[in-house]
Amino acid sequence: MAKKDKPQDPAADGKSGGKMKIIILAVVALLLVVSLTIAGTWFFLSKQDDTPEPSAETKQQEGAPVKQAAIYEELTPAFVVNFSQNGRARYMQVSVALMSRDQAALDALKVHMPVLRNRLVMLFSGQDFNTLVTPVGKEMLRQQATASVQELAQKEVGKTVVEQVLFTNLVLQ
């Protein structure tokens, strides 16, 4: 007995060809959408770049306040304080810089430098070692120091001269 060959169904080949056409159309549509998105983004961004920005002179003439350059005053020598942690002596060395934008007011604050240094020493010596080990603890200490210096400046000079207190070096032992 001979095997009967089944005739191949031409519709079966058409199904895989039809699936291939759908896949190709989907890829082409996706590429078209991506291309249009990129072209639209480029069009809108290049349109914004064409608008001229007002110059510094124009801004100044319009009455917009001009931000002055920052002035930094290093407090030397560095602060070295000790504090105890569970009966163990700990030490901290902090180099501090004051950031201001008004040289005359900063010079007026320098007259009160002994009071300022005393406030910072008392603040630094009252800290907890476990808190200072973390970056958040260091940032909190920096913010407390800024608030303390600004409070002193407001009291003695009449305005908050110091914009920020910056730690240029901080060593814990």
Residue 114 pLDDT > 90: yes
Distance CA 69, CA 63 (A): 18
Tokens 């901290």 found at: 92
pLDDT-based confidence at 16, cuts 50/70/90?
low
Higher pLDDT: 159 or 11? It is 159
Tokens for 17, please give them.
Answer: 């060809």
Distance CA 48, CA 65 (A): 25
Predicted local confidence at residue 49, as pLDDT: 54
> How many residues can be counted in the chain?
173
Contacts of 43 (CB under 8 A, 6+ apart): none
Question: Shortest CA distance to 79 belongs to which of 68, 89, 91, 67?
Answer: 91
Contacts of 106 (CB under 8 A, 6+ apart): 71, 73, 98, 100, 161, 162
Q: What is the pLDDT of residues 18-39, one digit of tens each?
A: 889 999 999 999 888 888 888 8
Coil vs helix vs strand at 76: strand
Q: What is the pLDDT of residues 147-166, one digit of tens each?
A: 999 999 999 888 888 999 99
pLDDT-based confidence at 132, cuts 50/70/90?
confident
From the CB of residue 65, how many other CB atoms can be counted at a distance below 10 Å?
7
Predicted local confidence at residue 37, as pLDDT: 86
Higher pLDDT: 144 or 15? It is 144
Q: What is the pLDDT of residues 41-87, one digit of tens each?
A: 888 777 665 555 656 555 555 555 677 888 999 998 999 998 877 87
Distance CA 112, CA 163 (A): 17
